Structure 1
Amino acid sequence: MSGKFEIDKASNEQFIFRLKAGNGEIILASEQYTTKTACENGIDSVRKNSADDSNFER
């Protein structure tokens, strides 16, 4: 089962996203975004950049 992105509103009305594993565990939490569109763009960036292993330091 693959991960799932969820968008939510923080207490200050800004948007955040979380990436949850198939078992429901949160494996990534975003910064806060002022608009839902900006939050969706953040998700798109994660999807695009996570495919390249050289973007990560282990």
Structure 2
Amino acid sequence: MGSTDWQTSSYCQEGNSCVQAGTTGRVIRLRESAVPETVLTTTPGRLSALLTAIKTNRLP
């Protein structure tokens, strides 16, 4: 596994609860800055489907 360059969300205010995202190859990694040891992994297609479902209010 390669190293991940983490970027903090532009919506983050001052504090420790910020969403951070990074990529390693074709894998997208997401974590909360307050708990950086917990990392969610996904692919671009699956993340896109999740964001579309959220935006269109189609979550179960």
TM-score normalised by length of structure 2: 0.41
* TM-score for the superposition, normalised by structure 1: 0.42
More RCO (CA 8 Å, sep 6+): 1
Which of the two has greater helix per residue?
A: 1
Say which one has the larger Rg: 2
Structure with the higher fraction of residues in strand conformation: 2
